[in-house]
């Protein structure tokens, strides 16, 4: 126990407390059971350590434990947590809970039997609380952490102030939004860099080896994290990676399940399940027709990689600019909005706003005379009318 407390204290002392992710201030920290899920590499551990630092409590009162630590292969979480609580512990921060067998049952028991204990846990985006045996859904306040927005990237790499804007502001206050940003702000200066390697926070620490880190990240997600997915046989990890690389070479992809099955060696009836697994791992994005549900057996209308950094990392040559633009748009709008595939245009957002994504010279030809229609245009500093700069959608969170 003393060793765990010392490890926790060391991590808390050395954590960056300046750069906080968008989610930090949205979490209701007073709740007694909080869950944060998200893809590997998005910064979940940092949020836990920053919160402990902010509490300003001793290691005997607030402790960080990573459940993929070898310590927990021979030691019980319940025993450690109970000992911590009896010694005066108040806040228990648990990282990588999905790697601990029957984690939800143990957390439920800790929550129910230690009434004075606050528990915050993180886990992979593959976690489905509704399917966990511990039935935490009635107890936990659950959040999801996504990768860096363009706004956050600017905030962490420059000295400017970049408060978030709403989609409503973007669509209705196009010209007045100029005053929302610093007077010397050049919105396109860092935009290409962000598109290439700005989505994952670790790019800020080691930009020179970002491509290698992404490749390692993908393999870890598929070969390690997905072992905890219901209905996924980890022996098929190689086929899953093969499917991902096939998709990355063809995005945006209109799925032909028969062809995908033939190229990947995965049975046709299994391909659609694997697509959902990749989406749950936040490696791809499935786009469905507007007005329809997202049943697991429904074939998606279009497939994108989850974010533009993945597109660059997986591409064997320079990615198509049109693909990068659309991937960026979808990745930024997925936080707080519903994005679907329309009968005209590229995207329909919240079932009412129609968007065509393209370069600065993109015209309204494809969506002419359609209500609530807009162009999200790349290589444009500030917009005019219903033509909105693409980068501006990166300021939403």
| Coil vs helix vs strand at 348 | strand
Residue 164 CB burial class (10 angstroms; 0-12, 13-18, ≥19): middle
**In this predicted model, what pLDDT tens digit does every residue of 207-240 receive, in sequence order?**
888 889 999 999 999 988 888 777 788 888 899 9
Q: Which of 350, 320, 321 is nearest to 333 (CA)?
A: 350
The CATH class of the 2-145 domain is alpha beta
309 has pLDDT over 80: yes
Give the integer Cα–Cα distance in Å for 208 and 279. Answer: 28
Backbone φ and ψ of 6, nearest 5°: -65, -45
Give the integer Cα–Cα distance in Å for 232 and 274. Answer: 8
**pLDDT (mean) for 25-31:** 97
Give the integer Cα–Cα distance in Å for 382 and 377. Answer: 10
- Work out the pLDDT band at 366, boundaries 50, 70, 90: confident
**DSSP-derived pairing of the beta strands 339-340 and 302-305:** unpaired
The confidence score (pLDDT) of residue 129 equals 80
> pTM for this structure?
0.91
The confidence score (pLDDT) of residue 133 equals 64
DSSP string, 96-138: -GGGSTTHHHHHHHHHHH-TT-EEEEEEETT--GGG-TT--TT
34 has pLDDT over 60: yes
186 has pLDDT over 90: yes
Give the integer Cα–Cα distance in Å for 397 and 163. Answer: 9
Query: Which residue is it, tokens 């126990």?
Result: 1
The contacts of residue 215 (CB under 8 Å, 6+ apart) are 313
Backbone φ and ψ of 155, nearest 5°: -60, -40
What is the number of other CB atoms lying within 10 angstroms of the CB of residue 365?
A: 7
For 237, 247, 293, the CA distances from 225, given in Å and listed in that order, are: 11, 20, 27
For 46, 152, 198, 315, the CA distances from 204, given in Å and listed in that order, are: 14, 11, 8, 21
Give the integer Cα–Cα distance in Å for 42 and 306. Answer: 13
75 has pLDDT over 70: yes
Query: What spatial distance separates the first Cα and last Cα of the chain, rounded to whole Å?
Result: 39
Give the integer Cα–Cα distance in Å for 218 and 223. Answer: 8
190 has pLDDT over 80: yes
- Whole-number percent of the chain with pLDDT over 90: 71
Return the CA Rg of the chain.
22
Give the integer Cα–Cα distance in Å for 375 and 329. Answer: 11
- Work out the pLDDT band at 68, boundaries 50, 70, 90: very high
For 188, 194, 273, 325, 336, the CA distances from 359, given in Å and listed in that order, are: 13, 17, 35, 9, 25
Q: Would you state the structure tokens that stand for residue 57, as one six-digit string?
A: 């409590």
**pLDDT (mean) for 198-206:** 92
Contact 306, 352 (CB under 8 A): no
Contact 277, 212 (CB under 8 A): no
Q: Would you state the structure tokens that stand for residue 203, as one six-digit string?
A: 């790019």
- Whole-number percent of the chain with pLDDT over 70: 97
Break the chain into its structural domains and give their ranges: 2-145, 151-395
């Amino acid at each position: 126990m003393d060793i765990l407390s010392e490890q926790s204290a060391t991590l808390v002392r050395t954590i960056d407390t300046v750069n906080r992710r968008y989610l930090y201030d949205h979490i209701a920290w007073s709740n007694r059971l909080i869950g944060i899920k998200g893809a590997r590499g998005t910064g979940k551990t940092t949020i836990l350590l920053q919160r402990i630092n902010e509490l300003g409590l001793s290691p005997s009162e607030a402790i960080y434990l990573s459940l993929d630590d070898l310590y927990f292969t021979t030691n019980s979480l319940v025993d450690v947590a109970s000992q911590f609580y009896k010694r005066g512990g108040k806040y228990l921060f648990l990282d990588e809970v999905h790697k601990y067998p029957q984690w939800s049952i143990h957390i439920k028991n800790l929550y129910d039997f230690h009434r004075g204990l606050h528990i915050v846990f993180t886990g992979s985006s593959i976690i489905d609380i509704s399917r966990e045996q511990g039935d935490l859904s009635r107890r936990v306040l659950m959040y999801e952490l996504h990768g860096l927005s363009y706004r956050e990237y600017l905030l962490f790499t420059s000295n400017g102030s970049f408060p978030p804007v709403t989609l409503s502001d973007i669509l209705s206050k196009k010209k007045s939004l100029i005053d929302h940003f610093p007077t010397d702000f050049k919105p396109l200066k860092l935009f290409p860099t962000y598109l290439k390697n700005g989505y994952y926070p670790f790019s800020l620490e080691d930009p020179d080896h970002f491509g290698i880190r992404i490749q390692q990240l993908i393999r870890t997600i598929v070969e390690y994290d997905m072992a905890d997915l219901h209905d996924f046989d980890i022996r098929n990890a190689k086929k899953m990676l093969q499917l991902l690389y096939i998709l990355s070479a063809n995005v945006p992809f209109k799925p032909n399940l028969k062809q995908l099955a033939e190229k990947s060696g995965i049975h046709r009836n299994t391909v659609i399940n694997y697509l959902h697994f990749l989406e749950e791992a936040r490696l791809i994005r499935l786009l469905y027709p507007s007005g329809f549900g997202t049943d697991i057996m429904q074939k998606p209308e279009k497939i994108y990689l989850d974010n533009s950094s993945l597109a660059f990392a997986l591409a064997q040559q320079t990615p198509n600019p049109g693909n990068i633009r659309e991937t960026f748009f979808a990745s930024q709008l997925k936080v707080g909005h519903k994005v679907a595939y329309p009968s005209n245009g590229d995207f329909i957002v919240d079932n009412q706003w129609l968007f065509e994504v393209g370069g600065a010279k993109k015209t309204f030809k494809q969506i002419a005379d359609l209500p609530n229609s807009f162009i999200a245009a790349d290589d444009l500093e500030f917009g005019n009318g219903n033509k909105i700069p693409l980068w501006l959608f990166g300021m939403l969170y």
